[in-house]
């Protein structure tokens, strides 16, 4: 391909790991159309805002970005050049019509299940329907199976670690959450398609794969003979064929944390000793109001069983404070659960109403200042726990997958089995290629709140499955 004719593609990603995966796939799709990624939106021919509806004031942040991009687009137009501006993802799915009306500068709005059609949308948006008029496109179809069928035909670039979506959508209908409305009903990809994509990743050099889903442990893909596979069975197969050295999965729901899946943590060495398992609150009354379908004690029992199966397992979680009607006593139940469990990492948020969700119309909305105070108290405890966990690894030797260059000379950054960022300084740039993309044994020398520093002592041998 003539690089002088290569078009440029800028994409901003908001929110969750599923959006990160979607962004990677959009980059892959557009690469086949001759688009190269740029970090500068002002020089891009195509700009996509891949939005998330989970965070507070998500839509307003998108409109703020659109405002900044409008000036760039107008400047390009003055120079006789065109910029296609698109809004994708969950905000687009939930508020597509409003975006089209409120932001005429936007050429395309598309949901998370339609980005495989991005090349066709771009062609439509750049075609001249009439003098001085170009079409605007709104595509928020929820046909997830069509998306995966299309994406499965694409090649995979060389990489060390990768996401692999095996499940999308949600049937849980938590009262605070928009995902069932923006991602659709639960859908599990069939085994043949998952394994085809997995082998492509392995051939491209991937040694660590992360299985993605809104409720990934609810996975129930169908095999060749019509038999239903669980996530546990899928992980065992991925450890055997194509034999990934590391396997992770996210995000899980406590209601789908089965005994079979817990056994995988004990029996499959490649299944990393780290689990993100959101609980959201420690009060049973609040959990019921959230429609979470688990209790604080049933969550504690899952953690107890996981730690029996894999004593070294590290935990991450999600927490919402200030859910409608939450009392001081109920918030303290959440604090007690946090102290009981102990987390290596966690994500915590103030409750914020999402239009169209049941919780948005509940009575007894908690005052903003109360939510802020509770969040500060919770985050202080979670931060203390994270620092303690990181400091507890000092002096240990951990296998670290070195997957990117650091900011310093001769530095590589990788991840421990517990998802910690680990910085290793080799002292010589000539050694970077030798260690990049490999799993090596690293002695941890020091720990900070968010990362570790260590030194390589020897290369780790490939792991083998326990079962």
Q: Which tokens sit at 255?
A: 């209601």
Q: Which tokens sit at 389?
A: 């966990």
Pairing of strands 108-110, 84-89: parallel
Q: How far is CA 437 from CA 186, 409, 433, in A?
A: 34, 17, 8
Find out whether 90 is annotated in a ligand binding site: yes
The span from the CA of 151 to the CA of 219, in Å, is: 19
Find out whether 170 is annotated in a ligand binding site: yes
The span from the CA of 294 to the CA of 361, in Å, is: 23
Find out whether 271 is annotated in a ligand binding site: no
Nearest-10 crossing angle of helices 144-151, 17-31: 50
Place of tokens 């605007």: 136
Contact 235, 183 (CB under 8 A): no
| CA dihedral sign of residues 217, 218, 222, 226 | positive
Find out whether 174 is annotated in a ligand binding site: yes
The span from the CA of 126 to the CA of 134, in Å, is: 7
The span from the CA of 133 to the CA of 355, in Å, is: 34
Q: Tell me which residue of 445, 454, 386, 465 sits closest to 414, measured CA to CA.
A: 454
Find out whether 16 is annotated in a ligand binding site: yes
Q: Which tokens sit at 314?
A: 């590290």
Which strands, in side-by-side order, build the sheet including 345-350?
Answer: 274-276, 314-321, 345-350
For 233, the 3-state DSSP assignment is: helix
Nearest-10 crossing angle of helices 191-203, 231-240: 30
Residue 222 phi, psi (nearest 5): -100, 135
Contact 400, 431 (CB under 8 A): no
Where helices occur in 184-313 by DSSP H, the ranges are 191-203, 231-240, 259-267, 284-289, 296-309
Q: How far is CA 296 from CA 7, 285, 293, 390, in A?
A: 52, 10, 10, 26
| Residues 429-456: b if buried by 16+ CB within 10 A, e if exposed | eeebeebebbbbbbebeebeeeebbbeb
How many CA atoms within 13 Å lie on the side-chain side of 29?
A: 22
Place of tokens 């049937």: 171
- Number of helical H runs and strand E runs in the chain: 14, 19
The span from the CA of 73 to the CA of 414, in Å, is: 38
Q: Binding-site residues for [4Fe-4S] cluster, please?
A: 16, 52, 90, 170, 174, 177
Q: Binding-site residues, please?
A: 16, 52, 90, 170, 174, 177
């Amino acid at each position: 391909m003539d690089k002088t004719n290569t078009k440029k593609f800028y994409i901003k990603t908001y929110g969750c790991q599923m959006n990160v995966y979607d962004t990677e796939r959009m980059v892959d799709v557009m690469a086949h159309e001759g688009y190269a990624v740029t970090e500068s939106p002002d020089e891009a021919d195509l700009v996509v805002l891949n939005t998330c509806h989970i965070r507070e004031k998500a839509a307003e942040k998108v409109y703020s970005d659109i405002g900044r991009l409008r000036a760039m687009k107008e400047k390009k137009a003055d120079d006789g050049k065109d910029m296609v501006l698109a809004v994708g993802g969950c905000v687009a799915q939930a508020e597509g019509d409003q975006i089209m009306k409120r932001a005429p500068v936007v050429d395309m709005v598309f949901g998370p299940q339609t980005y495989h059609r991005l090349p066709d949308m771009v062609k439509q948006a750049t075609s001249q329907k009439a003098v001085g008029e170009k079409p605007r496109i709104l595509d928020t179809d929820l046909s997830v199976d069509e998306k995966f069928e299309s994406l499965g035909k694409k090649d995979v670039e060389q990489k060390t670690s990768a996401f692999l979506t095996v499940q999308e959508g949600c049937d849980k209908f938590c009262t605070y959450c928009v995902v069932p409305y923006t991602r659709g009903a639960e859908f599990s990809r069939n085994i043949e398609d998952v394994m085809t994509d997995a082998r492509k990743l392995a051939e491209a050099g991937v040694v660590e794969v992360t299985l993605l889903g809104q409720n990934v442990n609810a996975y129930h893909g169908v095999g060749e003979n019509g038999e239903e596979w669980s996530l546990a069975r899928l992980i065992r197969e991925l450890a055997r064929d194509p034999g990934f050295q590391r396997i992770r999965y996210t995000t899980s729901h406590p209601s789908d944390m089965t005994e079979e899946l817990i056994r995988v943590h004990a029996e499959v060495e490649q299944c990393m000793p780290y689990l993100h398992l959101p609980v959201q609150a420690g009060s049973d009354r609040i959990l019921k109001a959230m429609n979470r379908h688990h209790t604080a004690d049933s969550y504690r029992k899952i953690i107890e069983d996981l730690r029996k199966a894999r004593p070294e397992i590290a935990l991450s979680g999600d927490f919402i404070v200030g859910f409608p009607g939450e009392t001081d006593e109920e918030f303290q139940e959440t604090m007690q659960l946090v102290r009981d469990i102990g987390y290596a990492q966690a994500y915590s948020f103030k409750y914020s109403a999402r239009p169209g969700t049941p919780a948005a119309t509940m009575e007894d909305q908690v005052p903003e200042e109360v939510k802020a105070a509770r969040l500060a108290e919770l985050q202080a405890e979670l931060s203390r726990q994270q620092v303690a966990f990181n400091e507890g690894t000092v002096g240990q030797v951990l296998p670290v997958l070195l997957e990117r260059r650091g900011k310093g000379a001769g530095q590589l950054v990788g991840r421990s089995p517990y998802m910690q960022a680990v910085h290793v300084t080799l002292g010589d740039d000539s050694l970077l290629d030798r260690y990049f993309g490999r799993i090596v044994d690293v002695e941890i020398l020091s720990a900070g709140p968010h990362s570790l520093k260590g030194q390589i002592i020897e290369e780790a041998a490939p792991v083998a499955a326990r079962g």
